[in-house]
Amino acid sequence: MMHPKTSLTFAVAACAGFGAASLLAGCAEEPPPPPPVVQREEPKYEPPPPPRVPTIAELMAQLDIDPRVSLPEERAPETEAQRVAVLKFFDAFARGNADSLRGMLSAPDQFLLDELVKSDAFAKSTGSITKINVRCSNAGGNDCTLAIIQAADGYQPQLWTYNAAGSVPEFDSVATPPAILDKVQGDDPIAAWFNVLKLELAKANEPDENPEFKQQDFTEKQDTPVESEGAAPSGRPAGAPGRRMPGTPVKPPKPPGFGNK
């Protein structure tokens, strides 16, 4: 006969062995599901916003620009450096400050400015300025600014190309055709200005007229005396079209004036 304690121990061991076997059998048949895959989103890179460009009104107050200089916001350059350069440039005109202006001019325009200063024409021209209307744009790959200077004796237009990328901006005046204000009316006067120059250049490159003169037969003996040396040929008066008299300029010189090259 088995002792009661021995029977109980055997029963417990049997149950434990049965449970372990069942557990092992269960693990072999049904493995636990894999952990869920977490999708990580890469952070989106957002570039910083471009720096804010000061308005023309803010720059005029900050730089103490002469109020006679008028540059509307919608006609102003895009960058702060360009805006500062244009405002300072025309401020020098409004105040008649030749020293400040000279440092912003190209070499040929510096020479012209010195001539105007010596003749006192610069002081007289800038002294009567009442307003400078300015607009800016890009034409032909060049940054341009057009000024219509209003003075006591009327309006003086002048177009400039400029470069504000360096430490000191540089302005270079563009040729001013006659009566240009009548030819640049419209939404884009700067582009119209360059178009007028293109037409003027094409016209200047046209060949000179070659007038035909009436042919005269000199094969027969003439009763008239032989012409002296240096006299005009028969049938053609001295100084006739087609020949330039010695010392006569090819084109009349431009009259001196403020802002003209």
H helices present in the chain, as ranges: 4-29, 56-63, 80-95, 98-102, 107-118, 121-127, 189-204
* Overall pTM > 0.85: no
Q: What is the DSSP letter of 152?
A: T
Measured distance CA(230)–CA(185) in Å, rounded:
52
The answer to whether residue 244 sits within a structural domain is no
SS3 137: strand
**Residue 41 in domain:** no
What is the rounded distance in angstroms from the CA atom of residue 158 to the CA atom of residue 133?
11
Q: How far apart are CA 109 and CA 92, in angstroms?
A: 14
Greatest alpha-carbon pair distance for the chain in Å reads 182
Range of the domain at 122: 56-175
E-only strand ranges, 127-192: 129-139, 142-151, 154-163, 170-173
The reply to whether 118 falls in a domain is yes
Burial of 163 (0-12, 13-18, 19+ CB in 10 A): middle
Has residue 19 been placed in a domain? no
Domain assignment present for 92: yes
Residues in the chain where the model's pLDDT stays below 50: 5, 8, 10-25, 226-261
Angle at 163 between CA 159 and CA 167, to 5 degrees: 140
Using the structure block, give the residue that is written with the tokens 């046209």. Answer: 206
* Residue carrying the six token digits 């202006």: 101
When computed from its CA atoms, the radius of gyration of the chain, rounded to whole angstroms, is: 45
Instruction: With respect to residue 71, please indicate whether it lies within any of the assigned structural domains.
Output: yes
Query: Number of folded domains in the chain?
Result: 1
Question: Which residues face 209 on adjacent strands?
Answer: none
- What's residue 29's pLDDT? 66
CATH code of the domain covering residue 82: 3.10.450
Other beta carbons less than 10 A from residue 190's beta carbon: 21
The residue among 119, 61, 129, 63 whose CA lies nearest residue 93 is 129
